[in-house]
């Protein structure tokens, strides 16, 4: 085999590799974290303050078993309502939102969620202050 054939075979293999990678990357979805990215960026300082407010108190416990995701509000927190947002980073169509009022234990069935990684945003008000708690779970 001479240099010409070896060089040609190497170039064909390299071009096939590049075409394969390009095809794979074109098929992969690339959703934004949120559609209202710019408006959230403007209000980011409020989000940081809400996280500080949540960190200054006892946190809502997030656990899960085979059937449910369980959120437990500590007795010390007098929270009238909680909004829980399950954000699926790789597919916004799988995002779910739940709202609860008047209970200290929140049960969310895993049947409503697909297996995978979720970012949780738990928002509530405590003493007229907005609170935001962020967690990550794998179902």
Q: What is the share, in percent, of the chain residues with pLDDT greater than 70?
A: 91
Widest Cα–Cα separation across the chain? 81
Averaged pLDDT of the chain: 88
Coil vs helix vs strand at 31: coil
Are the CB atoms for 71 and 82 separated by under 8 Å? yes
Please give the Cα distance from 43 to 52 (Å, whole number). 15
Alpha-carbon radius of gyration of the chain: 23
pLDDT confidence tier of residue 20, bands split at 50, 70 and 90: very high
Residue 18 has pLDDT above 70, yes or no: yes
pLDDT confidence tier of residue 4, bands split at 50, 70 and 90: confident
């Amino acid at each position: 085999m001479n240099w010409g054939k070896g060089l040609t075979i190497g170039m064909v293999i390299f071009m096939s590799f590049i075409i394969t990678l390009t095809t794979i990357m074109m098929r992969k979805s690339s959703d934004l974290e949120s559609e209202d990215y710019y408006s959230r960026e403007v209000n980011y300082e409020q989000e940081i303050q809400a996280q500080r407010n949540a960190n200054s108190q006892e946190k809502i416990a997030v656990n899960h078993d085979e059937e449910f995701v369980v959120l437990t509000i500590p007795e010390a927190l007098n929270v009238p309502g909680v909004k829980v947002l399950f954000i699926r980073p790789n597919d916004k169509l799988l995002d779910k939102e739940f709202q609860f009022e008047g209970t200290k234990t929140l049960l969310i069935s895993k049947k409503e969620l697909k297996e995978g990684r979720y970012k949780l945003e738990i928002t509530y008000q405590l003493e007229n202050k907005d609170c935001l708690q962020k967690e990550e779970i794998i179902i």
